[in-house]
Structure 1
Amino acid sequence: MNFLELAKERCTTRGFTKQKISDNDLEQILSAGRVAPTACNKQPQRIIVVRHPDNIKKVQKAYKTFGSECVLIVCRDKRSALVRPYDQKCSGDLDIGIVCDHMMLAARELNIGSVMVGLFDPEIIRKELNVPEYIEPTALLILGYPEKEFLSPERHITERKPLTDTVMYEKYIEERADLESTCWKKL
């Protein structure tokens, strides 16, 4: 499958079977994260693989795991931050997002579902899994085999904005009011 087909096949999975991910498949997913680009190749990611049931319960104190038996806690080492000097923007969250995206695509290629979560309590993760202060829990990447079928790749036809609404050439063009995001309205 070519890259665009794989990207269209990837979808959020919220409901997993009890089938375990093999060590080989997990290593392939983690290897995809290892080769992901990061700003100035600082590689700030630190990934805690959680598969033991007692530790899954600890993660569940911070966020639900949808029945998954494999959670990757993707952290950022704050000691290796690249900070843009003009406005102090740290590249760490971007780096972690790229690492997670690589791993989600690798998982999908293996017919393993995923959901990346940023809305969790990092202090619970820090306390329950003994994470030091200089390591920032940034994302949970919840993996497993989907309870239901993967979503259709054709969903992008209706669920995604057309390129004409999101891409501009040569300069920024002010968005129209009717294009305002509805993401927060759904909450």
Structure 2
Amino acid sequence: MHFSELLTCRYSVRAYRPDPVPQELLEKVLFAARMAPTAANRQPFQVIVIHTAGRENDLKHIYHREWFRQAPLTLCVCGLPDKAWVRGDGWNSYETDASIVMDHMLLAAADLGLGTCWIANFSPAAAREVLRLPEGVTPLAFTPLGFPADQPSPKERKPLAELVRYEGW
């Protein structure tokens, strides 16, 4: 698929078929995470793969929407602030790096015919408990991963003229 087509066809999937995700496809999605650029190539992230079957109640505590538990897999991107690059003024790149990782996985999944939905509105406390995260590991984003059972809604996007400025503000 051409990249511009991929950008327009990817959408936030909120209904999933129960079909399992073949290991080969999962590995391609995880490869995209591994190849994501990070500041100073520090790679301050971990991806946790959760098999949904039997974990539905745990996942319900992390995020309450029923469709979140429909996909056969759920991915969590965690940041490692202590391993990230830090700018001279103290800004830590781990959240940005983890966001790039998640976006790479979402695009790779769409290219493979899989559905995803970026979830930031989750309970960090529940995620820490359910995933047994150690100190220094921050859960930053989740996505279900599976075959879509819904159809995309039309996307409304602002025109570029409202989003882009040249040579300054």
TM-score norm. by structure 1 comes to 0.84
Residue segments in structure 1 that go unaligned for 5+ positions in a row: 173-187
- SS of residue matched to 1:116: coil
* Alignment-derived partner of residue 167 in structure 1: 164
Q: 1:129: which partner in 2?
A: 131
- What's the CA shift for 1:66? 4.7
**CA RMSD, 1 decimal:** 1.4
**Secondary structure of the residue that 1:117 maps to in structure 2?**
coil
Q: Tell me how far apart the structure 2 counterparts of residues 56 and 26 of structure 1 sit (CA, whole Å).
A: 20
CA distance in 1, matches of 2:84, 2:49: 22
CA contact (8 A) 2:77 2:140 kept: yes
Taking the aligned partners of 1:53 and 1:26, their CA distance within structure 2 comes to 16
Partner of 1:29: 29
The question of whether the paired residues in 1 share the 8 Å contact of 2:14 and 2:150 is answered with no
Alignment match, 2:20: 20
Query: Letter of the aligned partner of 1:78 in structure 2?
Result: P
User: Within 2, Cα distance between the matches of 1:122 and 1:112?
Assistant: 26
2:82 corresponds to which of 79, 91, 116: 79
Check whether the contact 2:52–2:71 (CA below 8 A) recurs between aligned residues: no
**Aligned residue type for 2:95:** D
Alpha-carbon distance in structure 2 between the residues aligned to 1:91 and 1:77: 10
Deviation at 1:91, TM superposition (A): 1.1
- Give the match's secondary structure for 1:82: coil
* CA shift in 2, pair 1:23/1:67, >3 Å: same
The higher radius of gyration belongs to 1
Distance of 1:55 and 1:135 partners within structure 2:
21
Q: Please give the alpha-carbon distance, in whole angstroms, between the structure 2 residues aligned to 1:164 and 1:70.
A: 39
Partner of 1:181: none
Determine the structure 2 residue equivalent to 1:140. Answer: 142
CA contact (8 A) 1:73 1:139 kept: yes
Kindly provide the CA deviation profile for residues 40-74 of structure 1, in whole angstroms up to 9, marking residues without a partner as x.
00101101100152334312211031512210111
Structure 2 residue runs of 5 or longer lacking an equivalent are none
- State whether structure 2 residue 131 is matched by structure 1 residue 116: no
**CA separation of 1:56 and 1:95: change in aligned 2, threshold 3 A:** farther
